[in-house]
Chains A and B, each alone.
Chain A
Amino acid sequence: ILNVEQSPQSLHVQEGDSTNFTCSFPSSNFYALHWYRWETAKSPEALFVMTLNGDEKKKGRISATLNTKEGYSYLYIKGSQPEDSATYLCPIGATNKLIFGTGTLLAVQP
């Protein structure tokens, strides 16, 4: 059974702090790892899709790394801003679908 674990469950930081979260997944039969940002009262939006071990992706102040051999990915946010407040999801890709965990809720205080 494919399972995704994210930690921490929630995180409160001050504006300007840098932060990171962890996503753990089974390392066998890896297919793809996604990161989504989900703001309250909105829909999830894709940040990154990663498929290769050692992949690093960056979008503005947000970056992600992938280790498929040990089954984890990190998402980093540099200089957090209040608009970064959201739930961050890291579903793993199976052949035709995504499998989601419960996410990390980030709250950035001004």
Chain B
Amino acid sequence: NAGVTQTPKFQVLKTGQSMTLQCAQDMNHNSMYWYRQDPGMGLRLIYYSASEGTTDKGEVPNGYNVSRLNKREFSLRLESAAPSQTSVYFCASTEAGTGAGSYEQYFGPGTRLTVT
């Protein structure tokens, strides 16, 4: 069981470039999440998906798009990277779909993204 995996681990982009962060889980979980972590800000939710084919905005969705490709995979796309998107990005998953707020989340190892 690999749990939640994320690729890449590190990435440096120039302003205006695009890229996709990949996340996969092998626990047959229904809900998946993308967070960003910035110093002094805690974890902030970007987007989440409570089931295959559905996505919802979190607290800070601007500048990002997501795709729930299937039950296992949830990708995060930056169409035109900006320095303000320099952050550490974490993917997480949890067993439940609806009502997931009372289930523990399992986190991936994170992707450290720098936009210059």
Q: How far is the CA of A49 from the CA of B102 in the complex (A)?
A: 7
Q: Answer yes or no: A32 CB below 8 A from chain B CBs.
A: yes
Chain A interfacial positions (CB closer than 8 Å to B):
31-32, 34, 42-46, 49, 51, 89, 91-103
Cβ of B48 and Cβ of A97 under 8 Å apart?
yes
* B41 CB contact (under 8 Å) in A51, A95, A102: A102
Contact residues in A for B90 (Cβ distance below 8 Å): 43-44
Cβ of A96 and Cβ of B31 under 8 Å apart?
yes
- Which listed segment binds A: B17-25, B64-72, B93-101? B93-101
Residue of chain B at shortest CB distance from A92: B101
Contact with A along B59-102 (1 / 0, CB 8 A): 10000000000000000000000000000001000000111111
Range class of the B interface residue count: 20 to 34
* B56 CB contact (under 8 Å) in A42, A44, A49, A96: A96
Contact residues in A for B100 (Cβ distance below 8 Å): 93, 95-97
Contact residues in A for B101 (Cβ distance below 8 Å): 31-32, 92-98
Residue of chain B at shortest CB distance from A93: B101
Contact residues in B for A45 (Cβ distance below 8 Å): 107
Contact residues in A for B97 (Cβ distance below 8 Å): 96
